[in-house]
Amino acid sequence: MSLTPLTLSVDGDTTVSALWLQPPRPRCTYVFAHGAGAGMHHGFMEALAQALCDQSVATLRYQFPYMERGSKRPDTPAIAHAAVRAAVAVARERLPGTPLFAGGKSFGGRMTSQAQAAAAMDGVRGLAFVGFPLHPAGKPGIERAAHLAEVRVPMLFLQGTRDELADLALLRGVIDGLGDRAALHLEEDADHAFHVRARSGRNDGQVVQALAAAMAAWFLAQALGRVTG
């Protein structure tokens, strides 16, 4: 594998750091945005990127501008969307002949889907959400999913059954409404951070491996033009 630090230009005045991880024989590429509270170096991000690499999936992790500055306040959607688009463009250039997917953890996934809904990104074959934040904790609702109706590429939702930011009944309703464009992969007992309790019989590392395997299988199926749940 090859890990390469990069610098992305978000606009004329803003640059952010990124990490490109490429396996020996990449089958596809995933542009992997971080969540609201932790950047691309977070242990979960690193572990899932490595697990995807082991599945022959190249990844581009990157910082949103606020995280690059060390701020705790997330960027406005316009700035976040610009960062998503910059990352997708760079990933497309690095492996131009490889199927391209995008998404991210929580906030990063939602910013990616908003960007895609506003104006489809060239070359993106599908979106994968690693814990889609359907609503704030303790405030069930589906308003955050309204824009997904405008996303015209396939979507994979990877969720834990104990995710406090995604009531499962509400999420299933959203996914059902999206029809064949959306698929759901559940990790039993996992919370929003994909942490599982000891009594589940699994550990967090096993969950990461399961997520990577599910994502890689879905990416390949989409690349081959198959419909998969």
**207 within some domain:** yes
Q: Calculate the dihedral angle through the C-alpha atoms of 193, 99, 64, 6, rounding to the nearest 10 degrees.
A: 120
Q: What is the pLDDT of residues 123-165, one digit of tens each?
A: 999 999 999 999 999 999 999 999 999 999 999 999 999 999 9
Q: Is residue 228 part of a domain?
A: no
What number of helices (H) and strands (E) belong to the chain? 6, 8
Residue 29's beta-bridge partner residues? 58, 100
Counting the structural domains of the chain, the total is: 1
In a domain, 183, yes or no: yes
Write out the residue range of the structural domain in which residue 205 sits: 2-223
Percent share of the chain, pLDDT over 90:
95
Q: Classify residue 13: in a domain, yes or no.
A: yes
Chain segment 44-62, per-residue pLDDT in tens: 999 999 999 999 999 999 9
Residue 227 confidence class, pLDDT cut points 50, 70, 90: low
Nearest in space to 125 (alpha carbons), one of 21, 5, 218: 218
pLDDT in tens, 61-110: 999 999 999 999 999 999 999 999 999 999 999 999 899 999 999 999 99
| pLDDT over 60 (residue 228) | no
CATH, residue 200:
3.40.50.1820
Residue 1 confidence class, pLDDT cut points 50, 70, 90: confident
Q: Would you say residue 144 lies in a domain?
A: yes
Cα–Cα distance measured from residue 24 to residue 54, given in angstroms and rounded to the nearest whole number: 10
3-state helix, strand, coil in the chain (%, to 5): 40, 25, 35
Q: Quick one: what percent of the chain has pLDDT higher than 70?
A: 98
Distance of CA 38 to the CA centre of its chain: 14
CB within 8 A of 26, min separation 6: which ones? Answer: 56, 57, 58, 95, 98
Q: Does the residue 108 lie in any domain?
A: yes
